[in-house]
Amino acid sequence: MTTTRLSRRRIGVTLLAAALASLAPGAAAAAPASQAAAGLQPELNALVEQGTSTAALAEVRDQGRITWRGAAGTADLATGRSAHADGRFRIASVTKTFVSTVTLQLVGEGRIGLDDPIEHYLPGAVPNGAAITVRQLLNHTSGLGNYLDDPKVRDTTEAGNREFLATGRWIEYTPERLLAIGAAMSPYFAPGQGWHYSNTNYVVIGMLIRQVTGNSWREEVENRIIRPLGLHHTTLPTTSTAIPGPHARGYFKLSEGAADVTRLSPTIADAAGAAISTTDDLTRFHAALFSGHLLAPAQLAEMTATVPIPDAPDHAEYGLGVVRYDLSCGQFWGHPGEIPGYSTGLLGTRDGSRQYAISYNEYDKSDRRKSDRLYRAFEEKALCDSPATSG
């Protein structure tokens, strides 16, 4: 669940049997930090000390081993409890990469055709569904309206944040209702004739997974990714408003001070962004995905076939549930995420050799250029100031 503008920071089980030993939790014990990785704490601290976040957690992984992990800030402003690097958080739109992976596994199994119209699978469900393909839903070229652009669902002004705190965060949405809200909006363009980020696309993909498999997208992600990889701290809540396990709390900044927005209904995000995870689980997922342990080469090639994102910084382009970014040292792949109280970044090399994940509870959004600059300083150092600098 990410805003339309994707800046650098916002923005098959049988294949696993022989190759996942190096990705297991026990095999990922922290290696001695390199000189570059050891210097990451000041950049992480800056996200908090310069006023943009209340807490920040991050991890860097290289060749299957953790080279650095850190935390900064306060997990709970009421108690002063410090943030911890193993805390859980809402990953928002990074969920899309999990959901796209399952969809592409189903493509590899011959159960879904990327260029089939969605009408073929969900007759009558999606307006103009005969002209919208599965691929266009996955890469945001469908033109479907983004339900989060409806201010009745999410208004990011202070008044809107107050309304969300009081009532909006408790609303339980069905996928059908989210689709209806997006479909009631005027299309951004004819299918395939532009690009516009829309969470509605992935709500539809979640419905597609259920139609094809008979299981919810959550069950398929659990069975095909979370359990095989042993991602024990990754959860896919249905209606629970809580974050299980240790976690930093999320806040809105209101004129009178901090307002706790940690608890909310995950149904507002559904398959577009409802998952909860840790930095360690996310880097392990990225390593498995881009090392070829979750998708066959043909499907991974489809995932990384991109379309331009208009006006994107760093020449970012969108694939199927992943974003390609150009950093100073090369191209990197991953996805950003943002949901009330939490922002997430997951990025790494195309060959799966190096990745980093970060969660930061962005509190002060008054100067987005400043917070972007601080985030980029961390990202560049995490991925570029090391022996593994290209993807």
Active site residues: 93
Question: How far apart are alpha carbons 373 and 323 in whole angstroms?
Answer: 19
The percent of the chain in helix, strand and coil, each rounded to the nearest 5, is 40, 20, 40
d(CA 147, CA 153): 7
Residues 150 and 119: their CA atoms lie apart, in Å, by 25
Cα four-point dihedral sign 23, 29, 33, 34: negative
- How far is it, in rounded angstroms, from Cα 73 to Cα 32? 24
Beta bridge partners, 82, equal 74
How far is 92 from 345, CA to CA, in rounded Å? 10
What is the C-alpha to C-alpha distance for residues 53 and 43, in angstroms, rounded to an integer? 12
Question: Within 10 A of 309 (CB to CB), how many other CB atoms are there?
Answer: 22
The tokens of 98 are what? 């999990």
What's the start-to-end Cα distance of the chain, in Å? 26
Ramachandran category for residue 46: left, alpha or beta (phi over 0 → left; psi -120 to 50 → alpha) = alpha
Strands (DSSP E) along 222-275, which ranges? 251-254, 257-260
Asked whether 184 and 145 are in contact (CB, 8 A), the reply is yes
**Structure-derived torsion over alpha carbons of residues 273, 274, 275, 278, reported in degrees to the nearest 10:** 80
Number of Cβ atoms within 10 Å of the Cβ of 35: 8
Dist CA 246 CA 79 (whole Å): 14
